[in-house]
Structure 1
């Protein structure tokens, strides 16, 4: 791991309307440094999803937060997002890299096997995202990747309590989603706690 503390990433719930989510997003981003925001969609209507990105992206981008679109390079380009997140290491990822790189970010998630992660890296993904309900297995996967590969690794923390272990395992970034939006204290408090945990993991 580098001497710098791992950074925080956020992912939205699946959204059907961007404006309704703006207050929660603004609250979360007010708490401190966030590296990126992954916008997820409830439906597959490109026009609706583009509207969602256009509603949310400026709020994040003005704070220096990279905005990624889940699953749609075309929407990312039209809505002036900073990149796209693709599930898997197959043709969709290859096509996204060809379409967006090097000017925009292309990340890969849904990588169930180590071979999938390696293929994603070889395909030119700018990061790999690991997610596993088993924290021990997830930390092991993160540690394996961090030791052997230079492509940045994002680890999804299902709970705030998982932030420090995943950072300690070697994640370059830790992603939070429901743990922020469903926190009874509000998104800002959840993000502030996560940032303290990440700073504490600095080595």
Structure 2
């Protein structure tokens, strides 16, 4: 059980425009310490995508959260985003690393096999993500995600993001060693509102770290 407090990694719904989402977005970022926001946009219009990302980036900047663009390093560079999140290994990831590093963040997800994750981790990336939905919305089981997070955290130095399908998944992911916990629909779809959901997630992560520190202190006292 890790003694550090994991941090929040927020994933937006698929957005086509910013105005209707900005108030909800700002409220969420005001409610908790969010390390990163991954913006998923669904517009094919380049100008509209840039406008959306720039508006959300200004909100993220006010709250100290890094803003990442989903799958498009060219667009991320155009809007001066903090980085990009790529799916899988291969030429697209290599291009993102070449274009964005060393000044911006490059993360990688959609890593189905251990070999894929290790290949990604050997590159100049800032994190790997496990358990997030694929482009069709399909999800691995949470048991599979926990196994992958724990394996990675025990062996590798590249930070790990674990995707929580529900708020109940936050505690086991933090216990497994994820440095970041990603929330998507578990936050935005919470009927109490995203700020309440994020606050509950932070409390859960803090409790894991406190329990680990208490256990370590107890072991030290008994030595």
Aligned to 1:94: 94
Q: Within 1, Cα distance between the matches of 2:99 and 2:117?
A: 20
Within 1, Cα distance between the matches of 2:162 and 2:82? Answer: 20
Task: State the distance in 2 between where 1:124 and 1:115 align.
Answer: 16
> Residue 151 of structure 1: CA displacement?
0.3
Indicate yes or no: 2:188 matched with 1:181. yes
Q: Hey, what's the Cα distance between the residues in 2 that align with 1:133 and 1:162?
A: 13
Q: Aligned Cα RMSD in Å?
A: 1.2
Could you tell me the TM-score, scaled by structure 1's length?
A: 0.96
Structure 1 spans left out of the alignment, 5+ residues: none
Distance in 1 (alpha carbons) for counterparts of 2:74 and 2:26:
26
1:43 lines up with 2:50 in the alignment: no
Distance 1:151 1:93 in 2: 16
* Bigger Cα displacement from structure 2, 112-121 vs 40-49: 40-49
Determine the C-alpha separation between the residues in 2 that align with 1:45 and 1:119: 33
Change (3 A) 1:151 1:160: same
Aligned residue in 2 for 1:110: 110
1:201 aligns with 2:211: no
- Structure 1: distance between partners of 2:102 and 2:83: 10
* Secondary structure, aligned partner of 2:31: coil
Counterparts of residues 1-203 of structure 1 (less than 5 Å) = 3-131=3-131, 132-202=139-209, 203=212
For these two proteins, the number of residue pairs brought into alignment is: 203
Given that 1:19 and 1:56 are in contact with CA atoms closer than 8 Å, whether structure 2 keeps it comes out as: no
Q: Distance in 1 between matches of 2:142 and 2:179?
A: 17
**CA displacement, residues 101-120 of structure 1 (integer Å, 9 cap, x when unaligned):** 01000000110011111111
SS of the residue corresponding to residue 167 of structure 1 reads: helix
- In structure 2, do the counterparts of structure 1 residues 16 and 198 end up closer, same or farther at CA, with 3 Å as the change threshold? same
Tell me the distance in 1 between the aligned counterparts of 2:123 and 2:144: 25
Aligned structure 1 segments of 4 or more residues deviating by more than 4 angstroms:
none
TM-score normalized by the length of structure 2: 0.88
Question: Can you list the C-alpha shifts for 1:50-96, whole angstroms capped at 9, x where unaligned?
Answer: 11111111111121101000011111111111000000011100110
Whether the 8 Å contact between 2:22 and 2:56 is mirrored in structure 1 is: yes
- On the 8 A contact 1:93/1:123 being kept in 2, the answer is no
Who wins on radius of gyration, i.e. which is larger?
A: 2
